[in-house]
Structure 1
């Protein structure tokens, strides 16, 4: 793989924006975590493309529709652009656990699609999430996995049983700073 294929894969809720146990159902409810959008910009400026991989079972549950999801994604894109960042693509699974699809994390289908579409080597592409299922999906395909302690991250860390080699960061900003500093060594 060439060095031009630099990519970081992020979960959305709890990593980029504040999470809610009752789901993020509208653009008004989509609120960025302080420093997360600047972290995306920092990754972009270092030559990394950023892609989001997100379970959005609220669609399958009838809690919101595609128009609402598109409004949330548009707000996220505008907010990232306002601080000099860019999200190259958003991949999402609209299904519920009962659907038994291959794209709902912890299954690795979404990440497999991203790796194929962007022609990246999973071993050189970090996956950042706040829940065990994010990490399991990444680890299943050999992606280096990173847990952030925002969103469900504290609970995920406390529960243990993280995939081998999981790195832990306070938030997306801390991940970006550490990740990029290690690339400069």
Structure 2
């Protein structure tokens, strides 16, 4: 809630793009400010970056239960492989299942101690396996990302480049980019056009 961040949150809402915030530590003043932002900008999607790092599932559930515009970026590699972690992956699975529409699996650049990309990626598959439900695995590993991306409307700049060639209500930001690229490269447009 400092400086220009509130204006950025408003822009994010108008473009329907999420904002990922690095919240450290995951308690105290940073969480108080996050909750303030969640309340003041209910149309903005906030992603709590590596929300599980040094954060028990109970804390995550407390905030998830109160704010529907909050998503959790889950760095499974930290929980599975960092020796400083005190919570096993299994402890988070009921929470992930309960809020599966608001969890995103990530590698967090595999920056934790003793966690490289291979371990970070393996840990994501471990979480999917522990969920024991293919639909939840697909949701947290792919669909939540896809839904956020596909819900973004074409921007005014994109529509200006496309002029009268398309109905602005029929395409999203990704589709508009594909049309612009197709026009620039003089190739046939995507089949959905």
Scaled to the shorter chain, the TM-score interval is 0.3 to 0.5
Q: Which structure has the larger Rg over C-alpha atoms? A: 2
TM-score, scaled to structure 1: 0.34
Higher helix fraction (1 or 2): 2
